[in-house]
Structure 1
């Protein structure tokens, strides 16, 4: 869905509007900068979890958006609902992943 100005796109009702880098008549082909990692991607190639949007560069990577969101939802719910981890971005959370992975392994 587009905003009225045609310069931004809304991918999530919980996150800010995302600036359009290159517009396209097909909404799935619009080029944006991933709001989580910053890579340029097509809207149609983004993924969402719990209202947080990522792309193929950051979503499925070990310690990426999927892993981080699931970890926080399970082990640090207050941080999960606060959403600051998303604002901190992919690289900051990727660095924390080894510590988080140890906690998961200890749990099982």
Structure 2
């Protein structure tokens, strides 16, 4: 996300910010050690999660994935309007034992509520 630690991964490959958006209400969100989020698609109990949409050059996608923390992967994310985009998701095993933060509706909201700067 813009201005946060992992944003450099996108900027280094020439990615461009497109817009802020919200997912369809089929995701849950975890804080991985309060360092970064992990979003997982679920069958039940999902909510809409705030996120950012970026245009990433195809060749840059591999580099971005290689620089992401272990347990994060690229997958299809469904936005609130039904559009599918490629996005960063968390492997379910990554979230085991981590703090679920779905109730905040997004990483920035969680950071703000936790006074961790967003």
**Could you tell me the TM-score, scaled by structure 1's length?**
0.27
User: TM-score under structure 2 normalisation?
Assistant: 0.25
Higher relative contact order (CA 8 A, sep 6+): 2
Considering fraction of residues, name the structure with more strand.
2
